[in-house]
Amino acid sequence: MLTPSTRLRLQAILERIGSDQPVSLQERIYVQKFADRDQGVASWLLKARRRQQQQTPADGLDQLLSDMNLGSADPDRTYRRGDDDIEGWFGGAPGWLRRS
């Protein structure tokens, strides 16, 4: 459970992250500490990162999916057809798995 003062401090930092304003390393560590322990704070952080990357759609179904907090905020974690090879991903797997 977050105290009101902690929640307000976290939300202020997350607002600055979302609007792409400077945030100190100590503040990022502070937010991440709570995000690791509290799913609500983790969700707030994910939404702030999406806003920072300007991936938040204006309206419609895309806005609904964004509000539901689906997907990744990290653009490097998405599959890129042609660049990502599933065979290479399974390259270190045991032989029985590679054959299936």
**What are 19-49's pLDDT values in tens digits?**
889 999 999 999 999 999 999 999 899 888 8
Helix 39-52 to helix 4-18 angle (10° resolution) is 20
Q: How many CB atoms lie within 10 A of CB 64?
A: 11
What is this structure's pTM?
0.61
Domain that holds residue 13: 1-53
At CB < 8 A and 24+ separation, what contacts does 88-94 make? Answer: none
User: Looking at the 3D structure of the chain, how many domains does it have?
Assistant: 1
Both structure tokens of 85: 């090879």
Does residue 28 sit within a domain? Answer: yes
Tens of pLDDT, residues 72-87: 666 556 555 666 566 6
What's the chain's average pLDDT?
78
Does residue 29 sit within a domain? Answer: yes
Backbone φ/ψ region at 81: left (φ over 0), alpha (ψ -120 to 50), beta: beta
Does residue 91 sit within a domain? Answer: no
Does residue 69 sit within a domain? Answer: no
